[in-house]
Structure 1
Amino acid sequence: MPMISVSMFPGRTPAQKSALVRELTDAFIRTCGGKPEGVQVTLIEVGADHWATGGVLHSDR
């Protein structure tokens, strides 16, 4: 059972999240095979004060 985990900033609508998990599932099935009900997707929303790139918090940018 594959697990796809996506970390992203908050702010996407429920419709955008639904479309994302649908597309990720479809892409996995298309490239690796299997059945959609076997693909697990987690969406993790991380605030800008908990995410850094290049040693700088995104909240400080």
Structure 2
Amino acid sequence: MPFIDVTIGLGRSPEQIRSLIHELTEAAHRAIEAPKDNIRVVVREVPETHWAAGDVTIAERRAAR
């Protein structure tokens, strides 16, 4: 049973999240021939203030632009 765990920044619409789940399910189904009913997808949304690279949060990077 494939388990796909995705972490993305907060701010996508429910439609975008649904599309992502659909596309990931389809890709796993095509790539490894797993039955779609056996594919699990979890999408975790993280606020920009809680995600950092090199000690700089996404929120700080956007504010500096």
TM-score, normalised to structure 1, is 0.90
Cα pair 2:2 2:34 within 8 Å, conserved: no
Report the alpha carbon displacement of residue 34 of structure 1 after superposing the two structures with TM: 1.3
Whichever residue aligns with residue 13 of structure 1, its letter is: S
5+ unaligned residues in a row in structure 1: which ranges? none
1:24 equivalent in structure 2:
24
What is the percent sequence identity of the aligned residues? 38
Report the alpha carbon displacement of residue 57 of structure 1 after superposing the two structures with TM: 1.3
1:15 equivalent in structure 2:
15
Query: Could you say which structure has the larger radius of gyration?
Result: 2
Which runs of at least 4 in structure 1 moved beyond 3 Å after TM superposition?
Answer: none
Report the alpha carbon displacement of residue 4 of structure 1 after superposing the two structures with TM: 0.4
Q: What is the CA RMSD across the aligned residues, in angstroms?
A: 0.9
Secondary structure, aligned partner of 1:34: coil
CA distances 1:20-56 after superposition (whole Å, capped 9, x unpaired): 1010000001011111010000010001111011221
Whichever residue aligns with residue 40 of structure 1, its letter is: R
